[in-house]
């Protein structure tokens, strides 16, 4: 929904359980509205409370409490979304209304498996990739029409190539692309699927196709930090470094506390345009964020070497 500027959830989650003021959160993340809430579970019952706050004025725009059965959690999610949009007086196009109403899955267990897989696959190591693959397969077994789970599974096959564990990189890439296409067939509006397809095209050197698919992803969901990051990657791999820089910046604006690949991606784009001071700054941020990561240190070493 291009009319809404939404900060990525992993940036927001850094405040979970911390006694911070709403106004401070808004200033840190550069937003006007803050959604607060909590979920309590007792047996098969849940209580969800939520309130939407204008962080500038401190006024509560909307508040609601939902007492439901656990199996109805996705219905509550849809209702919450629509209530928030109404409270903010956002008018949606017909296509946007369809996306708001769309569900990834109605199967709670599949959803939880998917969330675990997403968190684990981003650890970028052999053990975590194998576990993420199993979790994604479990999610698909629970709901064979769960498009998002196919994308996580596709990523694990591509990661096999990156990590050197694939017995046949060609077959792994073929599996990756087939799974992405399955996700697109299930949900043609799923932006990340097109971005992932673009990223894979970059890996095999089809840069024009890569950029076109990544641009399609951004057009579908301009508020996704992840797809802007993927477009930045595809542009960088295509040696279009100047164009990659603003995409990485948009990704980081949408996700102010981003994964390290956003940071060193921007650093490398600056590096290859000769802007070494900026390159070092962003790669050093990546190292500070994850000092144990071999990948971030490798990127930092590359930038230091290139800058002389």
Q: What is the pLDDT of residue 102?
A: 42
Look at 38 and 196; give whichever has higher pLDDT: 196
Per-domain boundaries in the chain: 9-101
Residue-level pLDDT at 92: 41
Among 24-33, 41-50, 106-115, 147-156, the range of highest mean pLDDT: 147-156
Kindly list the distances between the CA atom of residue 162 and the CA atoms of 99, 157, 200, 242, in Å, as whole numbers in the listed order: 33, 9, 11, 26
**Helix crossing, 108-121 with 147-163: angle to 10°?**
20
Q: What is the pLDDT of residue 99?
A: 42
pLDDT band at 89 (very low <50, low <70, confident <90, very high): low
For the chain, give the mean pLDDT. Answer: 87
Query: 9-101: which CATH topology?
Result: Rossmann fold (3.40.50)
Give the whole-angstrom CA distance, residue 74 versus residue 37: 16
Q: For residue range 186-205, what is the model confidence (pLDDT) as tens digits?
A: 999 999 999 999 999 999 99
**35 neighbors 50 (Cβ within 8 angstroms):** yes
Residue of higher predicted confidence among 122 and 304: 304
Angle, helices 147-163 vs 126-142, to 10°: value is 160
The size of the chain, in residues, is 308
What is the per-residue pLDDT across 24-35, written as a single tens digit (0 to 9) for each? 877 777 777 777
Of residues 144 and 67, the one with the higher pLDDT is 144
Provide mean pLDDT across the span 164-181. 97
CA atoms within 13 A on the CB side of 164: 0
């Amino acid at each position: 929904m291009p009319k809404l500027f939404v900060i990525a959830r992993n940036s927001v989650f850094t405040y979970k359980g911390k006694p911070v003021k709403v106004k401070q959160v808004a200033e840190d993340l550069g937003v006007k509205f803050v959604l607060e809430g909590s979920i309590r579970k007792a047996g098969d019952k849940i209580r969800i409370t939520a309130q939407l706050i204008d962080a500038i004025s401190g006024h509560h725009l909307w508040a609601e409490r939902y007492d439901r059965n656990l199996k109805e959690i996705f219905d509550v999610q849809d209702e919450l979304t629509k209530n928030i949009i109404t409270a903010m007086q956002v008018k949606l196009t017909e296509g946007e209304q369809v996306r708001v109403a769309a569900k990834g899955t109605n199967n709670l267990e599949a959803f939880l498996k998917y969330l675990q897989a997403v968190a684990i696959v981003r650890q970028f190591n052999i053990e975590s990739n194998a576990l993420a693959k199993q979790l994604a397969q479990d999610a698909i077994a629970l709901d064979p029409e769960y498009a998002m789970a196919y994308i996580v599974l596709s990523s694990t096959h591509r990661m096999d190539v990156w990590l050197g564990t694939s017995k046949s990189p060609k077959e792994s890439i073929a599996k990756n692309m087939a799974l992405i296409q399955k996700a697109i067939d299930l949900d043609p509006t799923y932006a990340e699927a097109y971005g992932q397809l673009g990223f894979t095209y970059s890996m095999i050197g089809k840069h024009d196709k890569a950029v076109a698919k990544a641009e399609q992803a951004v057009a579908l969901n301009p508020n996704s930090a992840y797809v802007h990051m993927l477009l930045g990657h595809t542009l960088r791999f295509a040696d279009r470094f100047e164009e990659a820089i603003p995409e990485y910046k948009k990704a980081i604006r949408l996700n102010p506390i981003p994964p390290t690949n956003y940071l060193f991606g921007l650093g490398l784009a600056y590096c290859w345009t000769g802007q070494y001071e900026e390159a070092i700054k962003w790669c050093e941020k990546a190292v500070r964020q994850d000092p144990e990561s071999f990948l971030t240190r490798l990127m930092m070493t590359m930038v230091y070497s290139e800058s002389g």
